[in-house]
Amino acid sequence: MLSSCSPSSGDESGNAVGELTTVDLAISVSSAMSAAPFAVAQNLGYFEENGCQIGEQLEGQGGSDPLRAVIDGGLDMGEVATNAVIEGYLAGADVTIVGSSHQLPYDFTYAVRAGSGITSIKDLAGKTLGYTNPGSATEDIAYLMADAVGLGLDEFELVPTSGMGGGIAMLEGGQVDAALMIPLVFERQDPGVFEIGFEGLDVIEAYQKTVYVASDTFLKENPDGVRCVLAGLHKAMQFIQDDPEAAAKIYADFDENYEYEAILADLKFANSRDTLSGGVGFNRVGLENVSLARQLRTGEATPVSWSELVDVAYLPEGASSELPE
């Protein structure tokens, strides 16, 4: 969607000189790592300096919600769970992946009951592992971890827990032997009840959890608007790496549901694992693992054809455009 911010004279393309492209955007506020780059770019003027501004802004909890906002709600772009984009594409959704967000499962840490002796995914043979919901990244990571260490899917049980909170309750009650518990949540638990047994990064190099998509209509009508948003987010991700304290302050002011110290701890933890080092560029291994997980989860023999879903032409300079073959 395009709106004129200043009625100046036109250039050869017919657009007003100095006009900003207005981009309506769906963002996820389910984690600081999803929303912090947007908040930083917005606060520091990174979008405007690249020629765009954010118009309508829809905040959701991630998953497929942002995709529906782009497809059904008329928004221009959104950060969407990669699995949701794949299923949407197969169902005929007119969207294209233009950039990446989460490339690493940096906070996929799994808690076990204290004293259980479980220190690896291998130790779950004959036991149960809780994941949040079917089709989620947590289910994918479970399949990938097991595959990486040669643990057969018939050797342990995967149990949906209806969210992380449900997993914590089921772990404490003995219904599962391990459950996802990100570090910030683990730190709020009573001491001595749980301990971290293992994590996704123990055996998984990368996993492309979320991506940025644009509607095909917006891509055709305003390609520079897409480039602008990605450039602003890319620069914001670098800022978060360089100055997590300032970034945490910006995000704390942006979202009152998060406290500064908690955000700062999350950003520093993510930075310690180079979570944002790729910016909005693509991680080839991360995409390969999304495809592999889908094959393991669904039994689908054919890997994802990323060249059909992704267009790397809108990435800023320096961002990786490498896709799986």
Q: What local confidence, expressed as pLDDT, does residue 15 receive?
A: 42
* Separation of alpha carbons 325 and 323, rounded Å: 6
Provide CB contacts within 8 A for 146, sequence distance 6+.
121, 152, 153, 156
Read off the amino acid at residue 324. P
User: Looking at residues 224-248, what average pLDDT do you find?
Assistant: 97
Given a contact cutoff of 8 angstroms between Cβ atoms, the answer to whether 42 and 251 are in contact is no
Hey, what domains does the chain have and what are their CATH numbers? 21-104+207-314 (3.40.190.10), 109-202 (3.40.190.10)
C-beta of residue 178 within 8 angstroms of C-beta of residue 110: yes
**34 contacts: CB under 8 Å, gap ≥ 6:** 27, 28, 62, 79, 101, 102, 210
Average pLDDT over residues 256-282: 91
Predicted confidence at residue 9, as pLDDT, reads: 34
DSSP 8-state code for residue 16: B
User: Which spans in 255-325 are helix H?
Assistant: 260-272, 284-298, 306-309
Is the pLDDT at 73 greater than 90? The verdict is: no
Q: What was the pLDDT predicted at 12? A: 34
Identify the pLDDT of residue 225: 97
Mean pLDDT of all residues in 282-293: 96
Is the alpha carbon torsion for 37, 41, 43, 47 positive or negative? negative
316: Cβ contacts below 8 Å, ≥ 6 apart: 227, 230, 231, 234, 235, 279, 280
Q: What pLDDT score was predicted for residue 32?
A: 75
What is the C-alpha separation between 77 and 227, in angstroms, rounded? 11
Quick one: pLDDT at residue 10?
37
Q: Rounded mean pLDDT of the chain? A: 90
Nearest to 39 by CA among 13, 57, 20: 57
The residue ranges of DSSP E strands in 10-115, in sequence order, are 21-28, 52-60, 77-81, 95-100, 109-113
CA 52-277-289 angle, to 5 degrees, is 105
- Model confidence band, residue 255 (pLDDT cutoffs 50, 70, 90): confident
Q: Per residue in 97-151, pLDDT tens? A: 999 988 899 999 999 999 999 999 999 999 999 999 998 999 999 999 999 999 9
Is the Cβ–Cβ distance between 312 and 321 less than 8 Å? yes
pLDDT digits (tens, 9 = 90+) for 147-159: 999 999 999 999 9
